Every structure is written in C-alpha cells, then in structure tokens.
C-alpha cells in the first residue's frame, strides 16, 4: 500500500509522518535512485529524509523528479522492494491521481482551522507567500472535489493532539 499525507502548509503533515515513523523501528537513510533521498524502515519505504536541522522530506527533492515518467519509474521499481511506501508533503501532490490509478493507495488530506493554521504559521515564523499558500489550498479543494478520487481520500481535521493521534492510529492500521 502507498499512503500519502498531503494538505496545505501548517496542517501538520511532517509532524504526523514523524510520529508515525517512530513506530517503525530504526531508520536507515538511503538513496535508492539518484535524487530520491528516502528512509527505510525494514519493509517500509518513507519518501524523503527528515532532520531537525534542515528543510527535509520530499519537499527537499529536486523538481526534476516530477519530469515525465521519472517519479513513475521510481515507484514502479520501489513497490517491488517494499511492502508499503509512505510520504508527506506538497511536492508529490500532483502524482496522487496517478498513484491511485496504478497502486493500492490511500490519501490523507489534512485540514486545520484558520485559527490553528495561523498559530502554527506564527510559531514557525512562516515566510511563505500568501498567494502560494492559497494555491495549495485550492489544489487540496480540487482533489477533494475530484469524483474519481473520493474512494481513495480520507479528509481529516488535524487541530489537536487528539486529532493527530487518531489519524496516526488510522495510518498505522493500514501499515501493519
């Protein structure tokens, strides 16, 4: 199964994935293919690498991985090697529809209240352009409204620690 965790900025995607992967055991940082920095947890592949000291995850990947057939070839190879693949972030949102068409995929779209979003943006000292953030929100709305994706989507509010724990539990059930 492929699990995608997506959403607008400050909805808790990275925090959630870090919490989920803590349950997988010891991480092994790998680069199974040039430009695809990943983290291996036994038979689970997490796309991206996470460090508290740098911008990380799939959002640190080069945009060239989105070129025609590049990401698709990578995934086709990796599904042979891993029981599950999991990722979060904005960079691969454009590939969600393709993933659902070709693989057993579950997409978690995280949302949060405007008040919580602002608090998180303030806490991280956000410098992201408001127009760009608005574009990400529109992208999430478009995915939610895509009739063909509805059966693959799980739209979850992530305002509180309890919300995050519930989503984590749901994801872990899929991956165990």
**Closest to 85 in 3D by CA, of 18, 3, 176:** 3
pLDDT of residue 128: 75
pLDDT of residue 161: 96
pLDDT of residue 52: 56
**Closest to 16 in 3D by CA, of 159, 176, 132, 174:** 159
What is the distance between the terminal CA atoms of the chain, rounded to a whole angstrom?
10
DSSP state letter for 128: -
Q: Which residues of the chain are under the pLDDT cut of 50?
A: none
* Region 2-175: CATH code: 3.40.50.300
Domain coordinates of the chain in residue numbers? Answer: 2-175
pLDDT of residue 99: 97
pLDDT of residue 51: 64
pLDDT of residue 53: 52
| Rounded Cα distance, 80 and 159, in Å | 36
pLDDT of residue 79: 97
């Amino acid at each position: 199964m492929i699990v995608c965790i997506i959403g607008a900025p400050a909805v808790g995607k990275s925090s959630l994935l870090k919490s989920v992967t803590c349950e997988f055991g010891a991480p092994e940082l790998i680069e199974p293919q040039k430009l695809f920095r990943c983290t291996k947890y036994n038979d689970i592949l997490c796309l991206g690498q996470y460090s508290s000291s740098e911008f990380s995850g799939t959002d640190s990947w080069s945009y060239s991985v989105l070129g025609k057939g590049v990401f698709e070839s990578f995934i086709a190879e990796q599904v042979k090697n891993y029981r599950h693949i999991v990722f979060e972030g904005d960079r691969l949102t454009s590939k969600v529809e393709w993933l659902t068409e070709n693989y057993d995929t579950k997409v978690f779209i995280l949302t949060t209240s405007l008040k919580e979003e602002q608090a998180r943006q303030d806490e991280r000292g956000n410098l992201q352009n408001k127009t760009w953030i608005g574009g990400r929100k529109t992208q999430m709305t478009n995915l939610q409204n895509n009739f063909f994706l509805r059966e693959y989507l799980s739209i979850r509010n992530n305002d509180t620690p309890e919300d995050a724990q519930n989503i984590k539990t749901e994801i872990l059930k899929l991956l165990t």
